[in-house]
Amino acid sequence: MHISNKTVFSFLLSGLVLTGCQTVTEKPASLSAHNLEFTEAPSADATTATTTEPSLQHADNTQPTDLWQVTRDHMTLDLYLDNPRVQSQLQWFSKHPKYMDRVVKRAEPYYYHILTQAIERGIPAELALLPIVESAFDPFAYSHGRAAGAWQFIPSTGKHFGLKQNWWYDGRRDIISSTDAAYTYLAQLNKRFDGDWLLALAAYNAGGGNVSLAIKRNKRQGKATDFWSLNLPKETMAYVPKLLAIAELIKNAEQYDLALQPISNQPYFSAIDTHSQIDLAQAASMAGISTKELYLLNPGFNRWATAPEGPHRLLIPVEHADQFTQALTALPASERVKWTRYKIKSGDSLIAIAKKFETTVGLIRKTNNINGNSIRAGKTILVPTASQQASEYALSQHQRHIQKQKSISRSTDRKDTYYTVKSGDSFWSIAKKHNVGVRQLANWNSMAPGDALPTGKRLVIWSKPAQSVLSSAERQIIRKVGYKVRSGDSLARIAGKFNVRIADILHWNNLDKAKYLKPGQRLTLYVDVTRTQ
């Protein structure tokens, strides 16, 4: 995924400075909730509580089967199709139907809830499409500007709108909480700009303060103060047209030969109150789904379990909700997390023990009634531990980082080295020392350049291999080679045959790695003829 460049701007609201969201997009930069109320579950002892939203209806009380039709029925914005900026965006999206296919597939578990909330709040349905612009509907998206989640909240704005952020949990990625916060923020911005949704959207991207300043500049110069007349940051100038172009594509999909995959007009998930911390692998097993599916519905959880202090809410696919509710009712709270007895060894510290078991010092203290940091060798303490191997928690923060390193390893000839952060270090000083980019270094470590860099943290650095001085006879001789794919060929086989990288073959031929090669297909290769066998 390409992460676009963006300047972070401030939003002045009620005396508090908020910073605008960051945009994460696969598109080239040049182109530019209401409160959840639980109702009693049908279990005998009411251990859990569940909510499921009703299906959406037309104004005439008939019920469309496809959410895209519901979206069309509730669109209210002027799409400004005669504007060249909208036309530019519309042209790009029209030419990249695969992008929309990927986005729709990602959106399916979340879109019913997001659209429902927009309609219930009485705001334009087009706003439910905003996560396409912000994150391509990736709930794990994280930008270089420290914005996270489908709605791309930065830490300070997220906290202002009540999104908890701690070691266990990040509410900016929670689908229910972040959607509620995003719509609340957008509604406030809409009110601030006298009901102008385009200005509200621009402010969501660039910050309300910057939009207000642009309006004041235009007023002083006697110019119009609508969105199209303002001089705003480059990304913001494209941000609103992107949303309008996407809305037009959804509204008139047939006209643009866009085959939108239908999304059923039915709730995808139920929200179930667990009342206490629970191991996510155990919860997935109880629901009869994979841990990956559970994480995708509950992307706010960073670790192997829900947060000890809450939220104690899990989103479960509707068809699995009853099974999960019954299993949860039968499971005592004391068995929802596995506890291990650990005998303290000489040299142990609470920090070291917490790191070893992927938990927090605070939870160990609370569980064992420990005050301060003093512990004694030989004493046994209780520590919460994951019930399964780490790899089972495939989308936990740690496992996502491991998968990222594997992906980098497969696509580069760089070698991984490790660096332990020392007092006084910064991303800039470390990057300079190892001759790599600051954003590059942060990205390798699933961080942003503005993130805190604690002493003792271990960073991975992907360094270029040392270049030896070659004689003229030893230097590469690169030739363009045409190759016809044969039966049984694969990218790996061709790459091995010609001593090139799979990533280069994909790049040279504009191929999609997910698609198979076909016999007779023509490929262009750039081969070092001194190394071919």
User: In this structure, are 90 and 229 located in the same domain?
Assistant: yes
Residue 450 forms part of a structural domain:
yes
Residue 149 forms part of a structural domain:
yes
Q: Residue 360 carries which DSSP code?
A: -
At 85, which amino acid appears? R
Q: Is the predicted pLDDT of residue 46 greater than 60, yes or no? A: no
Q: Which tops the pLDDT comparison, 155 or 402? A: 155
For residue 298, give its domain range: 269-335
Alpha-carbon span 81 to 247, nearest angstrom:
11
Which range, 107-111, 385-389, 425-429, 468-472, is most confident?
107-111
Average pLDDT of span 316-325: 97
User: In this structure, are 126 and 163 located in the same domain?
Assistant: yes
User: In this structure, are 457 and 524 located in the same domain?
Assistant: no
State the pLDDT confidence band at 48, using cuts at 50, 70 and 90: low
**Helical packing angle, 84-94 and 234-251, nearest 10°:** 60
What torsion, rounded to 10 degrees, do the Cα atoms 246, 247, 252, 253 define? Answer: 40
Q: Are 271 and 312 spatial neighbours (Cβ–Cβ below 8 Å)? A: no
pLDDT given for residue 465 in this prediction: 67
Q: Which tops the pLDDT comparison, 469 or 189? A: 189
Beta-carbon count within 10 A of 75 CB: 16
State the pLDDT confidence band at 51, using cuts at 50, 70 and 90: low
User: In this structure, are 196 and 316 located in the same domain?
Assistant: no
Residue 405 forms part of a structural domain:
no
pLDDT given for residue 529 in this prediction: 55
Residue 406 forms part of a structural domain:
no
How many CA atoms lie less than 13 Å away from 33 in the CB half-sphere? 21
pLDDT, mean over the chain: 83
Nearest Cα to 269, choosing from 110, 95, 57, 77?
110
Strand residues in 168-281 grouped as ranges (E): 269-273
User: In this structure, are 223 and 283 located in the same domain?
Assistant: no
Share of the chain above pLDDT 70, in %: 84
Residue 106 forms part of a structural domain:
yes
Q: Which tops the pLDDT comparison, 164 or 500? A: 164
pLDDT digits (tens, 9 = 90+) for 82-122: 999 999 999 999 889 999 999 999 999 999 999 999 999 99
Q: In this structure, what are the phi and psi dihedrals at residue 475, rounded to the nearest 5 degrees? A: -65, 155
Copy the structure tokens of residue 69.
Answer: 């039709």
Q: Looking at 126, 134, 248, 392, which residue is catalytic?
A: 134
State the pLDDT confidence band at 73, using cuts at 50, 70 and 90: very high
pLDDT given for residue 50 in this prediction: 61
Nearest Cα to 179, choosing from 199, 162, 155?
162
Give the CATH number for residue 163. 1.10.530.10
User: In this structure, are 142 and 217 located in the same domain?
Assistant: yes
Q: Is the predicted pLDDT of residue 206 greater than 50, yes or no? A: yes
Q: Is the predicted pLDDT of residue 229 greater than 70, yes or no? A: yes
pLDDT given for residue 16 in this prediction: 35
499-523 b/e (C-beta count within 10 Å ≥ 16 → b): ebebeebeeeeeeeeeeebeeeeeb
User: In this structure, are 75 and 127 located in the same domain?
Assistant: yes
Beta-carbon count within 10 A of 155 CB: 18
User: In this structure, are 296 and 441 located in the same domain?
Assistant: no
Alpha-carbon span 512 to 347, nearest angstrom:
52
**Helical packing angle, 502-509 and 491-498, nearest 10°:** 100
User: In this structure, are 187 and 217 located in the same domain?
Assistant: yes
Residue 388 forms part of a structural domain:
yes
pLDDT given for residue 47 in this prediction: 45
pLDDT given for residue 301 in this prediction: 94
Q: Which tops the pLDDT comparison, 286 or 493? A: 286
Residue 44 forms part of a structural domain:
no
User: In this structure, are 174 and 110 located in the same domain?
Assistant: yes
Residue 53 forms part of a structural domain:
no
pLDDT digits (tens, 9 = 90+) for 352-394: 898 888 788 888 888 888 888 888 888 999 888 888 777 778 7
Copy the structure tokens of residue 89.
Answer: 């965006």
User: In this structure, are 440 and 482 located in the same domain?
Assistant: no
Q: Is the predicted pLDDT of residue 181 greater than 90, yes or no? A: yes
User: In this structure, are 28 and 87 located in the same domain?
Assistant: yes
Please indicate, yes or no, whether the overall pTM of this predicted structure exceeds 0.95.
no
Average pLDDT of span 434-443: 85
pLDDT given for residue 476 in this prediction: 52
DSSP string, 500-512: --HHHHHHHHT--
Three-state DSSP state, 320: helix
331-368 b/e (C-beta count within 10 Å ≥ 16 → b): beeeebbbeeebebeeebebeebbeebbbbbebbbeee
Give the CATH number for residue 439. 3.10.350.10
Is there a catalytic annotation at residue 134? yes
Nearest Cα to 99, choosing from 5, 26, 29?
26
Average pLDDT of span 198-207: 97
Average pLDDT of span 242-268: 95
In the chain, how many domains are there? Answer: 5
Beta-carbon count within 10 A of 36 CB: 14
Q: Which tops the pLDDT comparison, 414 or 350? A: 350
Q: Is the predicted pLDDT of residue 45 greater than 50, yes or no? A: no
